[in-house]
Structure 1
Amino acid sequence: MRITAIRGVHVSIPLSVPYKLSRVYGTVSSADAVVVRLTTDTGLVGYGEADPHHPFTADTVEGTIQAIRDRLGPALIGSDPREIKRLEREMDDVLDGHLMAKGAIDMALFDLAGKSYGVPVHALLGGKLRERVLLSFPLGSGTAEEDMEVIEARTALGFRSFMAKMGRNPIPDEIKRVHKLSERYAGKVHLVADANQGWSEAEAVEFTAGVEGTFLELLEQPVPAGEHEALQRIRAKSTVPISADESVITAGDALQLVARGAVDAYSVKASKNGGLTKAHRIVSIIEAAQLECRMNSMLEFGVTQAALLHLGAVTQRLIPSGHAYMSTLRMSADFTDFPKRLRDGYAYVSDAPGLGVSIDDGVLATHARSSFEVT
């Protein structure tokens, strides 16, 4: 089996409701993706997705398209898509960085390999450990009263885990917010907080001290990505476990953080970390250190979410407080059938060959901004 063509489509789809994040990221109202389709000489096709959202990542839509169209795509034509590790090395040799472009291709390779062998992607990663994963629903950066409206609506639909975005409001306000939520929901739902790099070290220490004794289970990325020593000091002073997200992009980042003892948990994303091959490597490092993983997302559509669900299915050390497989629920439309896997507050793992998602070409065409093809 050989790759004969690579097609990419840039799509942009509005969110159902604008998403208020930290002061670093502001408010987001739409999501962009580059959807990749690999075609083979057998007629099988595989799909991948890149989710470059500046300023969430250094990758941009334009840079991702150029990387696939001009460098990575031409290097892969004629290759056997089942040789995933070899093609990972070839992509790294051809081009430095551009993890999201490489990640989209890597997802498509896994999709093709699974379809070729007639097995789900989780079987290629070692076999699933669970049939479903607990969902965590996001709460935009706002007030406890706004949070309660979302929590009441979503718990009625089966959700039991929530992630509160922070890093936008004054620390005393965020502390009061957590206390109000704790008074009402402790013992009923899970809560994690994500500051998205929005705080200084002093603010993070003030926050963790202020929420001690509440039901908050995890604080994610309180300070800028490169401040590993600050994360280590915050963790040493905090009774709330600390998680890294933007600080862990590569396996090298994970090794550095583990060596420092900087955090308790790591946020893993299929697109951010460069696809399943690289993300799985990061998970292996985390598990070897006897730490925990949080399967997380940015603003993603169903292909990336499906890839991440297969990774979550095979990961031994998952945090108990929920995982971010709800990204498609924030969109006004999705070009896959992944949302059907979400019900009763869980994401259910597919056993269909490959990633287990179908593509709606009509929705894809409706929201397409541009496209390209490599042959």
Structure 2
Amino acid sequence: MKIVAVEAIPYTIAYRKPLRFASGEIHAATHVLVRVHTDDGVVGVADAPPRPFTYGETQRGVAAVIEDIFAPAVIGLTLLDREAVHGRLSRTVGNPVAKAAVDMAIWDALGRTLDTSVTELLGGWSDRMRVSHMLGFDTPAAMVDEARRMRGEYGIETFKVKVGRRPVSLDTAVVRALREGLGDDVELYVDGNRGWTASESARAMAEMADLNLSLAEELCPADDVLGRRWLVSQLSVPFVADESAVTPAEVTREILGGSATAVSIKTSRSGFTGGRRTHHLCEGLGVEVVMGNQIDGQLGSACTVAFGAAFDTTSRRAGELSNFLDMSDDLLTEPLTIAGGELQVPPGPGLGVQIDEDKLAHYRTDT
């Protein structure tokens, strides 16, 4: 079970349509496939989706830091040395997505070696999660149409609505149209990606007070410390820390400082080791958790559902697991399937997925 090599393979797959939100827009998945090889011939995989407008990482940067720093740091360790891996990766500041992919590929390799799923290794609470679909900026009619299609084709009943535009009435009109178009039995929540000020956020939430929203996520900047505390005190729904709470220490700061009342866990930036730390912290503090989406492809979504299904706390809410549906293609030999509003953990050891080598050869950008 000794780690003998780590690969970082950049690839690009176009989206069928761009996903737009307050902090940027995505036209293609410019990701990095990470492979961890062991001396037993086992290969673990994970995906690294760089988000330069959020964490400062780029595709080239992720590949470089893995090849130049992280691979030499973990080669020679075993798959069971996960705390040692975490410690060595933590010596480097930042680079959360690159670290997470290395960590998750090691967990996948461990599961394959032990013929056990990652979900079972982590906790084994369930084998599936309810799905929430993310709706990016568009006209009210287009967003209602997309939500109806997702509901009709996949049975999805929970929707995360991107907001954060100015004037705020652009977004409040969208959310109102969604509520009127989908009815009262659909769950809606909003994510501002830090696009509004605290006062704009308070005004928008007041305008939407009759729409029965379940959550509000990162409506205003994380460094507006007093504004966020004031905003949270105005709200009647949980305020979710996302980009502001990547590490357990940041989660502690946001929750105990009164700047948030819930937390988004994204395995693509925490890995399974860091995500488990954050989960246990939230569980101990009695803080609600939602499994977030880094605009993941199918491999990233497989990681999210593997983690989310492993614990009671992370299974209670629908996980953001469907944005791979907007990609024009993917790398897996067997595509993930959403049915009845649920995504099942792929059966099999590790993450339960396999990479299509022909597709990888076609989409990789380093050859």
* TM-score normalized by the length of structure 1: 0.92
Give the Cα–Cα distance (whole angstroms) in 1 for the partners of residues 323 and 317 of structure 2. 17
Structure 2 equivalent of residue 296 of structure 1: 292
Matched, 1:349 2:365: no
CA contact (8 A) 1:228 1:257 kept: no
Structure 2 equivalent of residue 92 of structure 1: 90
Cα distance per residue 1:257-291 (max 9 Å; x no partner):
12123222211111222x11011111111111111
Alignment of 1:72-111 (within 5 A): 72-93=70-91, 95-111=92-108
Alignment of 1:1-375 (within 5 A): 1-22=1-22, 24-25=23-24, 27-93=25-91, 95-125=92-122, 127-157=123-153, 158-273=155-270, 275-318=271-314, 322-337=318-333, 339-370=335-366
CA contact (8 A) 2:194 2:220 kept: yes
- CA offset at residue 82 of structure 1? 2.3
Cα distance per residue 1:44-72 (max 9 Å; x no partner):
11112211121132222222112111111
Give the Cα–Cα distance (whole angstroms) in 1 for the partners of residues 332 and 288 of structure 2. 29
SS of equivalent residue, structure 1 residue 298: coil
CA contact (8 A) 1:11 1:34 kept: yes
Query: Which residues of structure 2 form unaligned runs of 5+?
Result: none
- CA offset at residue 152 of structure 1? 1.7
CA contact (8 A) 2:232 2:260 kept: yes
Using the aligned pairs only, state the percent identity. Answer: 28
Give the Cα–Cα distance (whole angstroms) in 2 for the partners of residues 313 and 321 of structure 1. 11
SS of equivalent residue, structure 2 residue 354: coil
Give the Cα–Cα distance (whole angstroms) in 2 for the partners of residues 66 and 54 of structure 1. 15
Backbone CA RMSD of aligned residues? 1.8
CA contact (8 A) 1:192 1:321 kept: no
Cα distance per residue 1:313-353 (max 9 Å; x no partner):
12322485522111321211110256424222211123411
Q: Which stretch shifts more, 296-305 or 30-39? A: 296-305
Q: Structure 1 residues 48, 319: CA separation in 2 closer, same or farther (over 3 Å shift)? A: closer
CA contact (8 A) 1:141 1:167 kept: no
Q: Structure 1 residues 369, 169: CA separation in 2 closer, same or farther (over 3 Å shift)? A: same
* TM-score normalized by the length of structure 2: 0.94
Q: Structure 1 residues 140, 338: CA separation in 2 closer, same or farther (over 3 Å shift)? A: farther
CA contact (8 A) 1:302 1:338 kept: no
Give the Cα–Cα distance (whole angstroms) in 1 for the partners of residues 109 and 315 of structure 2. 30
Cα distance per residue 1:278-307 (max 9 Å; x no partner):
111111111111111111112222332222
Q: Structure 1 residues 192, 320: CA separation in 2 closer, same or farther (over 3 Å shift)? A: farther
Query: Which residues of structure 1 form unaligned runs of 5+?
Result: none
Q: Structure 1 residues 282, 228: CA separation in 2 closer, same or farther (over 3 Å shift)? A: farther
CA contact (8 A) 2:79 2:106 kept: yes
SS of equivalent residue, structure 1 residue 163: strand
Give the Cα–Cα distance (whole angstroms) in 1 for the partners of residues 175 and 337 of structure 2. 31
- CA offset at residue 114 of structure 1? 0.8
SS of equivalent residue, structure 2 residue 289: strand
- CA offset at residue 80 of structure 1? 0.9
Give the Cα–Cα distance (whole angstroms) in 2 for the partners of residues 15 and 218 of structure 1. 27
* 2:56 counterpart letter in structure 1: A
CA contact (8 A) 2:305 2:319 kept: no
Q: Structure 1 residues 115, 134: CA separation in 2 closer, same or farther (over 3 Å shift)? A: same
Give the Cα–Cα distance (whole angstroms) in 2 for the partners of residues 304 and 324 of structure 1. 11
Q: Structure 1 residues 3, 362: CA separation in 2 closer, same or farther (over 3 Å shift)? A: same
Give the Cα–Cα distance (whole angstroms) in 2 for the partners of residues 230 and 310 of structure 1. 36
SS of equivalent residue, structure 1 residue 217: coil
CA contact (8 A) 1:212 1:240 kept: no
Give the Cα–Cα distance (whole angstroms) in 1 for the partners of residues 181 and 46 of structure 2. 41
* 2:87 counterpart letter in structure 1: R
- CA offset at residue 96 of structure 1? 2.5
Give the Cα–Cα distance (whole angstroms) in 2 for the partners of residues 45 and 329 of structure 1. 26
Q: Which stretch shifts more, 247-256 or 235-244? A: 235-244
CA contact (8 A) 1:328 1:339 kept: no
